[in-house]
């Protein structure tokens, strides 16, 4: 794209996969523009009321590193795309033309889950028993990761899907042996986001099963968010990535 062109990134209404992902992508594109295409800009069209993950940290990075490069527009829902002209068609007019248009569509569980009748939450997500991840719509069918209707404040993250898989696997083994699944699963989640090519921020949380409410709830006082971006957290992020890949893909 020419120097001076606009990269337009649309973000759907939450929930969607990897809540901070689009904002991190905007940072890294802007970091590239700052070095290679200084006349270009990033326009974020966010259907949500505000940045939904690490808002203070992302906005601080935009102000400190990318002033005049990143333009953030909240409550800006893309409803269609004119591919011939690279134009994002907006819900309330004011269409936006781009040199590069990166559209993130509304998200839901995959076609297989929908066609099997598993997507019982607004026909988008699959409701499950949090002790076993068995679908509430089909016995002996287990659903993990992004396809699941999330519990309160539970992100649709890769780290969380990794935790889902471990809980589900242990439950299936117990069920096959006629044993009762564990009744108090606890999940930890961490998500790192690059705001420059070196500086990183994180958010973390811990989620515990609540037997009365039959869902996962965050543990008060556990987890947290970075106080500021740092290169040290960048090293942590690379280490986390190597570990989660090895754990998930080995």
Give the C-alpha separation, 80 to 29, whole Å: 23
Domain check: are 126 and 242 in the same one? yes
189 within some domain: yes
Last residue of a domain, one of 103, 131, 149: 103
Range of the domain at 46: 6-103
- On whether both 176 and 129 belong to a single domain, the answer is yes
* Number of neighbouring beta carbons within 10 Å of residue 200: 23
For residues 92 and 123, state if they share a domain. no
Domain count, the chain: 2
Summarize pLDDT for 116-144 with one digit per residue, the tens: 999 999 999 999 999 999 999 999 999 99
Residue 238: pLDDT band (50, 70, 90) is very high
pLDDT-based confidence at 14, cuts 50/70/90? Answer: very high
Are residues 240 and 178 part of one domain? Answer: yes
**Is 1 inside any structural domain?**
no
Give the C-alpha distances (Å, rounded to integers) separating 18 from 50, 157, 183: 16, 5, 27
- CATH code of the domain covering residue 28: 3.50.50.60
Condensed to tens digits (0 to 9), the pLDDT of residues 164-222 reads: 999 999 999 999 999 999 999 999 999 999 999 999 999 999 999 999 999 999 999 99
Q: CA nearest 218: which of 164, 157, 153, 156?
A: 153
Residue 193 is part of a domain; what is its CATH number? 3.90.760.10
Q: Identify which of 167, 137, 7 has the alpha carbon closest to the alpha carbon of residue 71.
A: 7
pTM of the model: 0.93
Same domain, 89 and 134: no
Tell which of 103, 138, 171 closes a domain. 103
Instruction: For residue 119, count other CB atoms closer than 10 A to its CB.
Output: 24
Residues 67 and 179 in one domain: no
Q: What is the pLDDT of residues 49-59, one digit of tens each?
A: 999 999 999 99
């Amino acid at each position: 794209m020419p120097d001076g062109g606009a990269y337009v990134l649309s973000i759907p209404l939450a929930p969607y996969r990897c809540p901070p992902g689009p904002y991190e992508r905007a940072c890294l594109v802007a970091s590239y523009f700052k070095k290679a295409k200084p006349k270009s800009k990033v326009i974020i069209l966010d259907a949500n009321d505000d940045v939904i993950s690490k808002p203070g940290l992302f906005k601080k990075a935009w102000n400190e590193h990318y002033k005049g490069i990143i333009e953030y527009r909240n409550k800006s829902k893309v409803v269609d795309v004119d591919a011939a002209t690279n134009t994002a068609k907006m819900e309330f007019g004011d269409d936006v033309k781009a040199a590069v248009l990166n559209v993130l569509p509304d998200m839901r569980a995959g076609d297989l889950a929908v066609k099997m009748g598993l997507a019982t939450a607004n026909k988008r997500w699959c409701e499950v028993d949090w002790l076993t991840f068995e679908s509430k719509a089909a016995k002996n069918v287990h659903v993990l990761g992004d396809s699941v209707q999330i519990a309160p404040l539970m992100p649709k993250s890769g780290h969380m899907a990794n935790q889902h898989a471990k809980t589900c696997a242990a439950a299936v083994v117990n069920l096959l042996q006629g044993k009762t699944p564990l009744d108090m699963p606890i999940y930890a989640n961490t998500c790192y986001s690059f705001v420059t090519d070196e500086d990183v921020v994180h958010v973390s949380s811990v989620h515990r099963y609540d037997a009365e409410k039959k869902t996962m709830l965050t543990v008060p006082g556990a987890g947290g968010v970075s106080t500021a971006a740092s290169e040290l957290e960048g090293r942590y992020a690379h280490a986390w990535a190597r570990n989660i890949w090895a754990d998930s893909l080995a």
